[in-house]
């Protein structure tokens, strides 16, 4: 498989390294509007062909698939261009900035018969994959209650850099720079994590979003600091189960932790991803009478990068698909609407 990497910012390095490690995959080109960044990226990863626009790359055309690592608002137009040119697409999350655009992308790639997958990176957690298997196998009975959180602290600590002085963080706090805040950035991950791990689909959302005062006048340079920093949502699932989902960038002491607890009629399962480390625990069988939790063993799992390559070779999309990402975006859109209406919002 010959791969083009579109956008050569920070996350693109993960794409290049992971795809190059897969037998038979060649990263043959890079695209970026910033010449210096493009040149440095291609030099670091040994990528032979450089393009200043997607149009130039498509005119050349000597590749099978595109890894779309552009800013969020650019995913929609560039993916549609790639699909129209007959290319498979592996897109960074979110698929688009709203569900209407995400569904347009989904319909386009499905109609074209091409593989379209989205990089929900926390799907790579073996604890999540094993925990989901246990839930779907009925090991905790019918799911009744779900609690999920995604906790980061880069607005409090400087472990990832100083957000007040670095554009790669400031844009995530500014609506006019394309950010939907914590909801759009990490909310999409925890909604997928919770829904996928529990095996349930969200039916209704009641959400609250909060933006905190972080600088005089809520502004640093060209960046208006108006995107949400934290959110909570209460959800109903289509099965009748209920749950809470929350995320924040202000959780001091938590670098990057996703935690999901799924409570069923006969037991419970906890899945944790914490800054690269996965943990799985369960309270099952007779242990429910003593509230005893035990660690559950799991095996390594294939990454999204590996699954995408397999999907292209087989000509059949695997999960997480464009359609899955579009459905998760619907939940986020309804959360935004709920925060404005102060009402429960139903997913159509």
Percent of residues, the chain, with pLDDT higher than 70: 100
Percent of residues, the chain, with pLDDT higher than 90: 96
Query: What local confidence, expressed as pLDDT, does residue 168 receive?
Result: 85
Grade residue 13 by pLDDT with cuts at 50, 70 and 90: very high
The mean pLDDT value of the chain amounts to 97
Q: Peptide bond preceding 316: is omega within 30 degrees of 0, i.e. cis?
A: no
Per-residue pLDDT for 257 more than 90?
yes
Residue 145: phi and psi, rounded to 5, are -145, 140
Query: What local confidence, expressed as pLDDT, does residue 167 receive?
Result: 87
Of 1, 151, 58, 97, nearest in space to 329 by CA: 97
Grade residue 71 by pLDDT with cuts at 50, 70 and 90: confident
- Residues 96-102, mean pLDDT to the nearest whole number: 95
Contact 120, 325 (CB under 8 A): yes
What are the Cα distances from residue 340, in Å, to 122, 190, 195, 207, 344?
29, 21, 24, 9, 11
Query: What local confidence, expressed as pLDDT, does residue 178 receive?
Result: 82
What are the Cα distances from residue 100, in Å, to 6, 43, 174?
23, 38, 22
Element (H, E) at 92: strand 88-92
Tokens 């999901």, located at residue: 260
Secondary structure (DSSP) of 238-267: TTS-EEEEEEES--TT-SEEEEEEEEESS-
- Residues 108-116, mean pLDDT to the nearest whole number: 98
What residues form DSSP beta bridges with 159?
none
For 276-295, how does the pLDDT look when each residue is reduced to its tens digit (9 = 90+)? 999 999 999 999 999 999 99
Tokens 């990402």, located at residue: 325
For 176-211, how does the pLDDT look when each residue is reduced to its tens digit (9 = 90+)? 988 899 999 999 999 999 999 999 999 999 999 999
Residues 6 or more apart in contact with residue 35 via CB below 8 angstroms: 52
Residue 137 CA to residue 42 CA, distance in Å, equals 45
For 208-253, how does the pLDDT look when each residue is reduced to its tens digit (9 = 90+)? 999 999 999 999 999 999 999 999 999 999 999 999 999 999 999 9
Per-residue pLDDT for 9 more than 90?
no
Per-residue pLDDT for 301 more than 90?
yes
Q: Peptide bond preceding 94: is omega within 30 degrees of 0, i.e. cis?
A: yes
- Looking from the CA of 70 toward its CB, the CA atoms found within 13 Å total 23
Residue 263: phi and psi, rounded to 5, are -105, 125
Residues 6 or more apart in contact with residue 235 via CB below 8 angstroms: 146, 202, 203, 204, 205, 206, 242, 243, 244, 245, 331
Q: Is 99 exposed, middle or buried (0-12, 13-18, 19+ CB in 10 A)?
A: buried
For 259-273, how does the pLDDT look when each residue is reduced to its tens digit (9 = 90+)? 999 999 999 999 999
For 326-345, how does the pLDDT look when each residue is reduced to its tens digit (9 = 90+)? 999 999 999 999 999 999 99
């Amino acid at each position: 498989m010959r791969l083009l990497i579109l956008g050569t910012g920070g996350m693109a390095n993960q794409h290049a390294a992971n795809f190059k490690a897969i037998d038979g995959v060649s990263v043959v080109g890079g695209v970026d509007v910033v010449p210096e960044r493009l040149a440095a990226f291609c030099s670091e990863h040994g990528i032979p062909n450089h393009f200043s626009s997607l149009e130039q790359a498509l005119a050349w055309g000597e590749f099978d698939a595109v890894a779309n690592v552009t800013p969020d608002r650019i995913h929609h137009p560039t993916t549609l261009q790639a699909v129209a040119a007959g290319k498979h697409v592996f897109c960074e999350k979110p698929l688009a900035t709203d569900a209407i655009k995400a569904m347009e992308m989904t319909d386009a790639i499905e109609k074209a018969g091409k593989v379209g997958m989205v990089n929900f990176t926390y799907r790579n957690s073996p604890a999540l994959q094993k925990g989901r298997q246990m839930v779907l196998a009925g090991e905790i009975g019918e799911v009744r209650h779900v609690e999920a959180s995604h906790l980061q602290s880069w607005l409090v600590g400087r472990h990832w850099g100083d957000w007040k002085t670095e554009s790669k963080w400031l844009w995530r706090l500014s609506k006019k720079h394309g950010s939907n805040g914590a909801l759009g950035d990490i909310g999409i991950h925890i909604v997928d994590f919770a829904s996928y791990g529990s095996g349930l689909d969200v039916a209704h959302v009641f959400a609250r979003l909060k933006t905190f005062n972080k600088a005089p006048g809520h502004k640093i340079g060209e960046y208006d600091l108006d995107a949400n920093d934290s959110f909570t949502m209460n959800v109903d699932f289509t099965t009748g189960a209920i749950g809470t989902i929350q995320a924040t960038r202000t959780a001091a002491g938590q670098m990057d932790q996703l935690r999901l607890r799924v409570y069923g009629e006969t037991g419970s399962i906890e899945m944790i991803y914490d800054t690269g480390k996965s943990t799985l625990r369960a309270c099952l069988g007779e242990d429910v009478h003593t509230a005893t939790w035990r660690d559950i063993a799991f095996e390594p799992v294939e990454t999204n990068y590996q699954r995408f390559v397999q999907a292209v070779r087989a000509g059949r999309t695997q999960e997480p698909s464009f359609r899955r990402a579009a459905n998760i975006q619907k939940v986020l859109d309804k959360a935004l609407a709920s925060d404005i209406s102060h009402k429960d919002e139903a997913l159509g």
